[in-house]
Amino acid sequence: MQLSKAIGKYLRQLRDIRLVSPHTVVAYRRDLKHFLMYLGDMPLCDISRSRAQDWLVASHASGLAPASLARRLSALRSFLDTAVRMNWCPENIAAGITPPKQSKRLPRTLPPEQTALLLQSTSAISESRDLALLAVMYGCGLRVSEVAGLNLVDIDMGEAEMRVRGKGGKERVSPVPDGVYTLLSNYLDLRMGHADVSQEALFLNRSGGRLSARSIQRMLKKRALATGADVSVTPHRLRHSFATHLLAGGVDLRAIQELLGHASLSTTERYTHLDTNKLTDIYDHAHPRARKR
């Protein structure tokens, strides 16, 4: 079987049978298309391990980040796993290739006063929606894709909780804090009076359709400019700030893991850290030599 045909079949299987997230399908399509362009449309069984390694080396030489290289290798492995299972080729030549070591660099957080600035009132036409959206992102620690994917039926105002669909289609229930509840309630009252009753999305754009992740990012930048907040703010920085502020406030790491929807605690540990002042405070209260007489 030719490489291009095998890739096409694999991507259709991901989308139609395995029902993986559209984001994953798009990312894997991009990576495998690059692999096809690098090798050319050759028989799948003729691809050697060294050719796959050469592709990764060339990707690294082009300046691709370690995380992106790891994703490319993951896409290739998954594709070849399927190829072996479907008898398109005899072996997965990428099975023993080691992914590049990724850095532990953490995204910067926003101090609480910066998040307070973002939640100040502005003259935006969509002010009620924007405030509710910001409150959900920062107050519940949601990914931008999770916020954009929220539907009306996911919100239970009576129980003060929402159902969130995370990576890989995994669902979790997130509590709605009091501050978020108030802003969300205000938006829902306004939305019910203006939106098409057939529209299931929670957050809507001016045309009455679902607000996209890209639109949420643009809104955030525009709001930062209007309120004098840090213009480098991103949805992911809000999510990371949510976790960091909870940790600094003494919330257990396992609880933060559940709120963020991480499958592994090690992932949560990468997204959360204690600052120097917090560590100093812990030392002063716990270490025998730090106690003043």
168 and 243 Cβ atoms separated by less than 8 Å: no
Out of 15, 51, 167, 270, pick the active-site residue: 167
For the record, the structure tokens of 247 come out as 């940790």
Q: Is 9 a catalytic residue?
A: no
Q: Is 143 a catalytic residue?
A: yes
Out of 71, 72, 240, 262, pick the active-site residue: 262
Q: Is 221 a catalytic residue?
A: no
Q: Which residue has the tokens 């804090």?
A: 177
Out of 72, 191, 237, 239, pick the active-site residue: 239
For residue 111, which of 263, 260, 237 has the smallest C-alpha distance? Answer: 237
Q: Is 167 a catalytic residue?
A: yes
Q: Is 239 a catalytic residue?
A: yes
Sign, Cα dihedral of 175, 180, 186, 192: negative
Out of 29, 60, 236, 273, pick the active-site residue: 236
Q: Is 271 a catalytic residue?
A: yes
DSSP labels, 58-126:
HHHHTT--HHHHHHHHHHHHHHHHHHHHTTSSS--TTTTPPPPPPP-PPPPPPPHHHHHHHTS----TT
| Catalytic residue IDs | 143, 167, 236, 239, 262, 271
